[in-house]
Structure 1
Amino acid sequence: MTLTQDTPTDDSTPQSSSPPRTRTYTWADPLVGAGAAQDLSGLDYLRGMARGDFAAPPIGQTLGFRIRDEHDVQPGQVTFRMTPEEFHYNPIGSVHGGVYATLLDSALGCAIHTRLPAGVGYTTVDLAVKYLRPLRLGMGEVRAVGEVLSVSRQVATASAQVLDDSGKLYATATTTCLILRPTAASGATP
């Protein structure tokens, strides 16, 4: 897939003197890994993804974030890493809030996933993000660290932070996720 930033051509918009940018990236079929996830605990699946046993989901390639290695996946905690780039920018010259939210949502959900057994899934019910500082080009890598607060039979909660290498805080988030357990009607044990 190729993304190109085009220069506007209507008379009401100022023309840019910089050349258009192009970004190309590839991804693997996300359903292959999703199928493997059904037979593994969340912790084992995410550690396998960190090792490269399973392809990372396409959203990671799209936004340029990743789990660096197995140390970034611990029971109840997952860390994603990202370097702010120009393609993350909003119209006012900093990383778009949706990029923060996606990075944090990924860390939160995956932290919860590490506490789930094989065959049990989750989905986000709510996500609350607090933006504290802008992320900008040239600042280096940041990390989103998600940690589980609680997991019950039906609901899990987690919190996360976006931090730079010096530990400066850029955003925080919390989530509530619905736990999706197999039903007795499908032949699985509840």
Structure 2
Amino acid sequence: MLDDASARAAVVAAADRLFYAQGVQSVGMDAVRNEAGVSLKRIYALFPSKDDLVVAVLRHRTRRWDEGIASAAADAVTPRERLLAVFDFLDAWFREDGFRGCAFINSFGELGATSPGVADAVREHKESFQRYACDLAAEAGLPDDVALQVVLLAEGAQTTAAITQDLEVARRARRAAERILDVPTPAAA
């Protein structure tokens, strides 16, 4: 029998796969049980509601996002290079089998209006990414506005890639971000 941490990890991983592939609302808890190999009773002991499970999946996705961004930026030397590495991460992700866009945007679209917990988890993730970009911009001597423009490119690239299935979207967004970062600003001048 799995301990609570292992059972929790198995349920979150199973729910993540199912929710991302099929959508949150179309996946029942029986499907999560079957995928995770954990009884419904145990699942509900770990996650009292499906919303609690969705929030746990989103927090798991945030960790994966942060790790992916950090890995893509590992060899970057400057704050500018680390910021542009976001698009390298996106490019690799968009090319993965089963890419369906941003799980946060997808979850917010499905549940944001009815689940404050899900809306909060999505908002926290998006705000965390904005802080990351703003911190890098500040290190580079650029204003927050420049960082937020780059964030908008990254967010738009995710949605566009999911809808159009155009594998070049991240590369185009990176080139646009390079241009934004290269424009002299009062803070950098």
* TM-score w.r.t. length of structure 1: 0.30
* TM-score w.r.t. length of structure 2: 0.30
Q: Which has the higher strand share?
A: 1
Q: Which has the higher helix share?
A: 2
Higher relative contact order (CA 8 A, sep 6+): 2
